[in-house]
Amino acid sequence: MAEQSGQEQPTEEQPAEAQAAGEQPQQAEPAAAAQDQSQAQSQADAQAAPAAQDPAADEPAAEEQAQTPVRQPAREPDQQPSADEQAAAETPAQEEAPTQEEAPAQEETPAQQPAADADTTDAAAETEAEPAPEPEPDLPPNHLVYGGEIRSSVITPDEPAQFRFEGAEGDLVRVRVDGLGDMDPVATLLEPNRAEIASNDDESIANRDSLIIATLPSSGLQVIRVAPYGTAYAGEFIVSVELLEAEDVDESRIVAIGEDVQGRLHSANDFDTFEFTGEAGQVVRIRADGEIGADTFLELFGPDGTFLALDDDSGHALDAELTVTLPESGQYRVDVRPAVVGRPGGERHRIGDYVLSIVSPPPAPLAASGDTATQLSALALTYLDAIQTGDAITIFALAGPEQIGQTGWKSADDVPRDLSRLQDTVTAGALGEATAVVEGERARVTVALTIPGVEAVQSLQVDATNVNGQWLVDFVLRPIPVAEDDAA
């Protein structure tokens, strides 16, 4: 390609110079002759230069260059060029046309190639400078992370399942173990050195799943140990761990014992914080009384931030309630959260207004007597029997405002959609003696339950409320094992 470029330079100049020479008036012959000699010498030098630079030019190109006519001496203004001179002048231009179109395209390729190579080199350099990140290694089967969960199983209390997660000193964590089916878990949280941080059997009196909320005292691989309450309660479960944050707190105030405080849970992540001053050995009852449809959850922390207790449904219906003896004097913290209903993927948070009350000493419940005791006993036995037999009309007729609010029933036709859940709660068995305690317009009835094939006497708890002089059922709690001496 360089050879063609070197041969075209004199060819491009010659037609223009010949035309210019034909248009100029004739001057003195010595000057014209000198000029012609000078131009002829320049043309010869220009033709010789490419040949010297590229001695490998092919023979046809050299012959074509040698046959290029030399510019003729200037003519008189009225003298016309001959036909041979015109043909000689036009021939280089005609031969040059395709060469001028092809030459740039032929010269462009080698000029652009280095640029492309440079771009490729830069891209390769960038690739080497920024290597692709290596994929993270898979976690061991029993390794948890904050926000994660693992489904597993355990057979006997003597061989608990163990899980680990990385935690930092001061982290406030929530460990939840949800038993599947009849599985009743017992969870224990341990430090990296295997010192026990906290342990829990039942989340609440109505929920046999385990829940631990604690502040980690040290950094490292924390251990969660899961065992069944007994061999009969072994099975599958879901264990999860969560890092708690205080960013959603919208209520924070100091309350006095004996004071009632209004609060509201606005969203699933909302929680309210309250503080009160207590004395060592003092017995206090803390209650979060939710409006219809609100399901409250309580957590109590000591003066040093140590987790002390939690509750979900020990109060009336879905209300949370704690009765504790304070271990030391100081400022205690109470967190109120919305409880979670259902398992991950289908959980619901019941939010709404509530009233927080802290009393000391807590009032003793009054045993129902007379007509009140009779009415409450009959209500509980009739309602439980209707659940066992599937009597939707009776169930709806005796349902209280909390029960209606939880289920959304509009008529007895809506009851069957929740009947299987109610029957799982009540369990088939013989209903026995019923006893009741009353606090204002609310009551709790305890009914003995004998289940075929089970030696231990079970019990059911029925929460009722008085609406315009009639007692109605707000909530039925799951069976809770009781000792035979207590049932006698």
Question: Is residue 112 very low, low, confident or very high in pLDDT (cuts 50, 70, 90)?
Answer: very low
Return the SS3 of 312: coil
Average pLDDT over residues 204-215: 72
Domain with CATH 2.60.120.380 in the chain: 143-243, 250-363
Q: Say which CATH class 367-487 falls into.
A: alpha beta
Q: Say which CATH class 143-243 falls into.
A: mainly beta
pLDDT at 424: 82
Nearest to 448 by CA among 421, 398, 488, 419: 488
User: Which residues are 172's β-sheet partners?
Assistant: 215
Q: Quick one: how many helices (H) and strands (E) in the chain?
A: 9, 25
Domain with CATH 3.10.450.100 in the chain: 367-487
> Is the separation of the CB atoms in 240 and 344 below 8 Å?
yes
Average confidence score pLDDT of the chain: 74
Question: Is residue 172 very low, low, confident or very high in pLDDT (cuts 50, 70, 90)?
Answer: confident
b/e per residue, 23-35, with b = 16+ CB within 10 A? eeeeeeeeeeeee
pLDDT at 14: 45
List, for residues 134-158, the tens digit of each pLDDT value.
Answer: 544 555 678 999 999 999 998 888 8
pTM, two decimal places: 0.49
pLDDT at 203: 65
**CATH topology assigned to domain 250-363:** Jelly Rolls (2.60.120)
Sign of torsion over alpha carbons 14, 15, 20, 23: positive
> Is the separation of the CB atoms in 334 and 277 below 8 Å?
no
**How much of the chain, in percent, has pLDDT values that exceed 90?**
33
